[in-house]
A and B are shown apart, each in its own frame.
Chain A
Amino acid sequence: MAEKVLMKGNEAIAEAAIAAGCRHYYGYPITPQTEIAAYMAKRMPKIGGVFLQAESEIAAINMVYGTASAGYRVMTSSSSPGISLKSEGLSYIAGSDLPSLVVNVQRGGPGLGSIQPGQSDYFQATKGGGHGDYHMIVLAPASVQEMASLTVKGFDLADKYRMTSMILADGTMGQMMEPVSFEHIEVKTYDKPWALTGTRGKRKHNIITSLSLVPKELEEWNFSRYERYRLIEENEVMYEEFMMEDAEVCIVAFGISARVSQNAIRMARAKGIRAGMIRPITLWPFPKAPLAKAADKVRAFISVELSMGQMIEDVELATRCKRPVLLCNRVGGMIPSPESVLAKIEEAMGGDRT
């Protein structure tokens, strides 16, 4: 596509995945992400790809496991309750060092929750979700354009590090329409000598497994995986600073919360309050360094989240609690208004607790 087109965030993810060379999609219907499956169902048969509606989220993630084992770019998408079901598979994919792309268009929880936007799967996405020691690269788009560009980036990082990239969006990002461009997409390819292509009589058999009953070997395997994670933390952190040059109060927010916070910051500036924002684009690896640096300059942080306060813990850790960290949140599918974020900014500036 040579120019900008108007698309829903969910559709932008699907189109970007195809542009990134993904020809295998497995999914199961759940609101508010079903447009991804619908888009894939239309497009894949026309470009020689595979769209398959699985019998469950559990089956879908295991189909991803199979296709990833064969060495192909592959994805699935779901929303919060469905991601819980996929968590078993995500742990196995991590344990078997397979690349995959998984989209979570979050809704309010816990349980069946709501179908309105949420960000309360932050812990699940960044701290594991499934069993065992593992991480996923967690990418948090804040525009329809980023829904597209981070999908492409996600496939690349997944192949590069042999792990899952998760797009952690929310219902707003999935449903809203914005102009998006698919130009300048660079698709990198990676050798996959480990893939199960069939030996063709030319090599010893490849085995993909997450099982190792020798404790010392499993420990070494975990160590080597965490060495890769360390490299990711060194090299792949992404974030955006907004009006941080002279900021006295720093908002930390991602996705829809960051969009609302931008408006609140402009309103604060109009009132003479020097507010700014650090917007994590990678939630794992978390932008610890810029936050630590900001802790030496600002008076307070505000974590704006659609959760009962999950990312706030990472903000406190990254800043070593040098400055107060306030929580500005709504849950259950509610979204904070710019006015309520502004009120929290004024509260943060009101009492000098340093």
Chain B
Amino acid sequence: MIVFEKPKALTDAPLHYCPGCTHGIIHRLVAEAIDSLGIEGITVGVAPVGCAVFAYNYFSCDMVEAAHGRAPAVATGLKRAEPENIIFTYQGDGDLASIGMAETVHAAARNENITIVFVNNAIYGMTGGQMAPTSLPGQVTQTSPYGRDTSVCGFPVRVCEMLSQVDGAEYIERVAVNNVKNVKNAGRAIKKAFENQINKKGFSLIEVISSCPTNWGLTPQKALEWVEEKMIPYYPLGVYKDRSAGFVYGKEGAAR
């Protein structure tokens, strides 16, 4: 009896991610969703610029590499060309919430029928740990060496809260992968974001609170604790918008 196996939607290429990085878990959750929905043959993924730049080597479906921040526009071009194909982007916080903010918001406003997996680890990983749009107030990074001073560089962007107010968006949820319970819940959410696309419901974004032990300067275990103690209080988990269910964050109360 097989109790554990690699999802078919992942290739055999060894992942390049640092020890303790949660990209591997999130890749697996995306691949499991693709497998369980049987859509690998009609799926095209869009890789970002950032730590996940080589995602195109890891997913078995057709893949394209986008310029920094432009994945939602590239996904739009793919989806408008082949509306029956399933298009997803996999983006980090610098990519999606800084340089690609316009592309993100407008893809949501158009209710572009795509799935976005947004990995938020509060730092630029690939370039060596600079301040991200989602870095927490006081967070020490290479470019905020005295801690993020909000009077100088402003406040973190809460993507789910913001996108929940965009009329076009169908489904917005924030999840985390710092413990088994949260990983299982993240898997459910990512699968739902793909199902929404299959059912032509429109723009679905899942923000995954992730860890970066290397650039946070923490052990993998301490990094997961930092997620629980620092990240999640600033970025509360839950559903922020589910248009089909009639739920909008703020109007109907807190995330649920």
Contact = CB atoms under 8 A, between A and B. Distances in A.
A and B: partners? yes
Interface of A: 24, 26, 50, 52, 54-56, 58-60, 62-72, 74, 88-89, 92, 96, 196-202, 205-211
A69 B64 CA distance: 8
B81 interface: yes
Contacts of A67: 77-78, 80-81
B235 to A, nearest CB: 26
Contact of B102 (A55, A74, A96, A198): A55
Contact of A89 (B43, B53, B70, B106): B70
Contact of A209 (B41, B64, B76, B85): B64
Which one of B65, B81, B85, B106 has the highest number of Cβ atoms from chain A below 10 Å of its Cβ? Answer: B81
A202 B82 CA distance: 18
A88 B41 contact: no
B80 A52 contact: yes
Nearest to B81: A70
19 contacts: A50-B80, A52-B80, A58-B103, A59-B102, A63-B73, A63-B76, A65-B74, A66-B73, A66-B79, A69-B74, A197-B85, A198-B41, A198-B43, A198-B61, A198-B85, A199-B60, A206-B62, A209-B64, A211-B53
Given A62-B77, A63-B80, A209 B42 contact: no
B40 interface: yes
Given A64-B77, A68-B77, A201 B65 contact: no
A26 B75 CA distance: 13
Nearest to A199: B41
A206 B60 CA distance: 9
B63 interface: yes
Contacts of B103: 55, 58-59, 62
A183 B75 CA distance: 36
B59 interface: yes
A201 B57 CA distance: 17
Contacts of A197: 62, 82, 85
B66 interface: yes
Contact of B66 (A65, A74, A201): A65
Closest 6 CB pairs of A and B: A66-B77, A62-B73, A209-B65, A70-B81, A55-B106, A63-B77
Contact of B42 (A58, A198, A205): A198
A63 B70 CA distance: 9
B77 A201 contact: no
A70 B77 contact: yes
B63 A205 contact: yes
Contacts of A60: 73
A225 B70 CA distance: 24
Contact of B70 (A59, A198, A205, A210): A59
Contacts of A200: 41-42
Contacts of A96: 64-65
B31 to A, nearest CB: 12
A201 B41 contact: yes
B77 A74 contact: yes
Nearest to A63: B77
Given A89-B67, A210-B65, A196 B60 contact: no
B240 interface: no
A235 B63 CA distance: 33
Contacts of A71: 81
B139 to A, nearest CB: 29
